Structure 1
Amino acid sequence: MDFLERIINLANKIKQQKDVIDTEEATKNAFVMPFIHNILGYDVFDPTEVKPEFICDIGTKKGEKIDYAIIKDNEIQVLIECKKIGESLNINHASQLFRYFHVTNARISILTNGQVYQFFTDLDAPNKMDEKPFLEFDLLNIEENLIPELKKITKSAFDIDSIINAAGELKYVSQIKKVMAAQLITPEEDFVKFFASRVYDGILTQKVKESFAILTKKATTQFLSDQVNERLKSAISNTAEKADETLEKSNEAHSDSEIVTTEEEREGFYIVKGIIRTVIDPSRISQRDTKSYFGILIDDNNRKPVCRLHLNRSQKYLGIIDADKNEIKHPINSIDDIYQYSEQLKETVSTYL
């Protein structure tokens, strides 16, 4: 079972059982321990890996416990504080995480209610836990672009430097998206003035600003609608090309029946998808496995290749397609090395936009 399938299985369990879970302890047993064990890959029954009810006396605070401490390389790497399923998460729930964060070696802390997992580190000040998470993962609202980021925190891939390097971008992109979403619903005065001052030559009186508040909301709504329509037009224009490929695919069907897509290839696909979805609609990203390589395409179109994964050999390669449709092979040691070529992958995708 691959990483995504394990996530989906736990999500389905939460959907089925969350209404009958009414305590924090039941939440930990039913949802949090399976997350630690099956998703993050740490043995919850091995105290050298997962220490429940972790005690770390601080000054006059004696006997306080954190729900779980995750240990790797004989060092505490992750602290986890749990709340009951359905309970909203806020910074007030993380008081013990704040206290323990600066007296242990942990650089990652997690606040969860079994469904939503908020991941914190110390981007704002060294050795002091941030007040805002760099990653928030909701098992009942899975965002595919976050799956590669969650995978970095698993036991097999855990690399604190890699996690911290990615955390800054994750944190601020997430916060910017939330701000943008709020402005589209209820534009603030500064947001309205920004646009009004660029299209209106008169004085921005209170009446004018009130008028532009309505116009700004209408304009942003229409802009998003136009973007959707453009993508629909693109999809329609590609229909003819896909029809031409149908015959080609059917001719390949017999030989493809012998192809087995490996878990590593699937994980590689999700890594590439997570990278390039920042520049293209993720619904346009597709995969096609062959006997000699695993291909990643745009619009499921052979004429729009992004890269090829050559993983079924002793020396693995990431083959990136350049603007002239030539494949440039880059040797990699593991699929995590794909992140090193993020910009090249995005450049390739940009040629199809």
Structure 2
Amino acid sequence: MNTIVIPKQAVNQLKKTLDNFKLNEAIELCTNEAQTRKFLIEPFFLMLNYESTNLIPEYNADFGDRISQKIDYAILLNKKETILVEAKKYNSKLTDKEAGQLNGYFGNTKNSKIAILTNGIEYRFYSDIVEPNIIDSKPFFIFNLTSFCESELEALIKFDKRYINVQSIVKSAQEVVFNESFENAFFKEIVAPSKELLKILHKNMTFSTKFNEDTQGKMINLINSSFLKCIYDKKVLLESTSNSQGVITTEHEIQAYHTIRTLLIQNKKIPKERIGFKDFKGFFSITVDESSKKVICKLMFNSTPLKLAIDTNEYVLEHIDDLLKYKNELTNRTILLLE
């Protein structure tokens, strides 16, 4: 699979184009679905460098005798690949249930691996990761014209006509679905440990006891937030002393995280339980709800000087205490992501 390198200037240009789009004026013109298509949806795809010849309205999916059923739009990428688009009137509430309407088209248009549900403001991107030819119950990516961050722009630019690689996008979507599925499964086991998990843990204990209801009850009571915090601290220490780990969470990153978290929760609008982080090879990301789509800031502490990135702005830090200077920027960014 060929990897297309997307220049940073392309992301910056897309942001500039979106910022210059007269969104409020377009919204005022939208009182029905047809106007939503004309003034919001079609301009959106034009901003991604699709031409009118690529964006086919009222596209016939292959329904045989039911040829009268049409999808609102099909984006023709080439002879083999098509993206389906279901349009709703501006201000319509989008739900994953509505995405089910795309299933008929999706299953009958074999060259489609991506489908989009939109009301002109919010764009929900779906695929068939879980089961072939059936739309997944949740989108793998959501973009909102009224509120977006740098990471979402970087995801959106991958759908630009000049750079789009459906195979690569679907593979990335598979990673998103896999990660979320793993997190959900792991969380369920932590909240209500299964007998199978307890058996595995009991088998690996050096203190020998019978695996009965009393033992299971003790083990379940031990799996609480304090216990998990203790295990987490041990994991961080192990990673920081092991060169074999791909991602190393350092003490400085943890210190910076706690500093930023403390700054944020001083604002009553920011619930402390919604602030989390994810560590990557090149940066340490502080997020809302531990979501890669809701990045408050990024810490680049792997080299000198230390750097802090908030949305598209980057700041050089002489010391971790310099984070205090950016309390307002961090707080405003977090409140925006919480809304």
Shorter-chain TM-score tier = 0.5 to 0.7
1:6 to 14, 31, 41: 14
Measured in 2, the distance between the counterparts of 1:136 and 1:278 equals 23
| Counterpart in the other structure of 2:34 | 25
| Counterpart in the other structure of 2:78 | 73
Query: How far apart are residue 122 of structure 1 and its match?
Result: 1.7
State the SS of the aligned residue for 2:40. helix
| Counterpart in the other structure of 2:140 | 134
Measured in 1, the distance between the counterparts of 2:24 and 2:253 equals 31
Query: How far apart are residue 59 of structure 1 and its match?
Result: 4.2
Query: How far apart are residue 64 of structure 1 and its match?
Result: 1.7
1:154-191 deviation line (CA, Å, top 9, x unaligned): 211121221111111223446778x69xx9xxxx9x75
| Counterpart in the other structure of 1:61 | 66
Shift in alpha-carbon separation, 1:69–1:230, aligned structure 2, 3 A: same
> AA paired with 2:147?
N
1:35 to 20, 39, 44: 44
The answer as to whether partners of 2:282 and 2:302 remain within 8 angstroms in 1 is no
The answer as to whether partners of 2:73 and 2:84 remain within 8 angstroms in 1 is yes
Structure 1, 112-121 or 57-66: larger mean CA deviation: 57-66
What percentage of aligned pairs have identical amino acids?
A: 25
Query: How far apart are residue 280 of structure 1 and its match?
Result: 3.3
Q: What pairs with 1:282-293 in structure 2 (closer than 5 Å)? A: 283-285=297-299
Shift in alpha-carbon separation, 1:277–1:90, aligned structure 2, 3 A: farther
| Counterpart in the other structure of 2:255 | 230
Measured in 1, the distance between the counterparts of 2:137 and 2:71 equals 18
The answer as to whether partners of 2:86 and 2:102 remain within 8 angstroms in 1 is yes
The answer as to whether partners of 2:158 and 2:165 remain within 8 angstroms in 1 is yes
State the SS of the aligned residue for 2:66. coil
Measured in 1, the distance between the counterparts of 2:100 and 2:13 equals 34
The answer as to whether partners of 1:135 and 1:170 remain within 8 angstroms in 2 is no
The answer as to whether partners of 2:100 and 2:135 remain within 8 angstroms in 1 is no
Measured in 1, the distance between the counterparts of 2:253 and 2:302 equals 19
| Counterpart in the other structure of 2:162 | 156
State the SS of the aligned residue for 1:29. helix
Query: How far apart are residue 126 of structure 1 and its match?
Result: 2.4
> AA paired with 2:44?
F
Measured in 2, the distance between the counterparts of 1:17 and 1:164 equals 32
The answer as to whether partners of 2:143 and 2:152 remain within 8 angstroms in 1 is yes
The answer as to whether partners of 1:145 and 1:275 remain within 8 angstroms in 2 is no
| Counterpart in the other structure of 1:82 | 87
The answer as to whether partners of 2:62 and 2:108 remain within 8 angstroms in 1 is no
Shift in alpha-carbon separation, 1:129–1:59, aligned structure 2, 3 A: same
Measured in 2, the distance between the counterparts of 1:275 and 1:117 equals 27
| Counterpart in the other structure of 2:175 | 169
Shift in alpha-carbon separation, 1:193–1:122, aligned structure 2, 3 A: closer
Q: What pairs with 1:81-120 in structure 2 (closer than 5 Å)? A: 81-104=86-109, 105-120=111-126
Measured in 1, the distance between the counterparts of 2:31 and 2:281 equals 41
1:119-171 deviation line (CA, Å, top 9, x unaligned): 11121222333232111222223132233332222211121221111111223
The answer as to whether partners of 2:29 and 2:35 remain within 8 angstroms in 1 is no
Question: What root-mean-square deviation, in Å, do the aligned CA atoms of Structure 1 and Structure 2 show?
Answer: 4.6
What TM-score do you get using the length of structure 1 for normalisation? 0.52
> AA paired with 2:46?
H
> AA paired with 2:74?
A
The answer as to whether partners of 1:82 and 1:113 remain within 8 angstroms in 2 is yes
State the SS of the aligned residue for 2:50. coil
> AA paired with 1:91?
D
Measured in 2, the distance between the counterparts of 1:275 and 1:19 equals 42
Measured in 2, the distance between the counterparts of 1:92 and 1:82 equals 14
Q: What pairs with 1:191-340 in structure 2 (closer than 5 Å)? A: 192=191, 230-231=255-256, 279-281=284-286, 283-285=297-299, 298=300, 302-303=304-305
> AA paired with 2:14?
R
What is the aligned residue count?
Answer: 237
2:56 to 30, 51, 65: 51
> AA paired with 1:64?
Q
The runs of 5 or more residues in structure 1 that have no matched partner are: 236-273, 286-297, 306-353
Shift in alpha-carbon separation, 1:172–1:284, aligned structure 2, 3 A: same
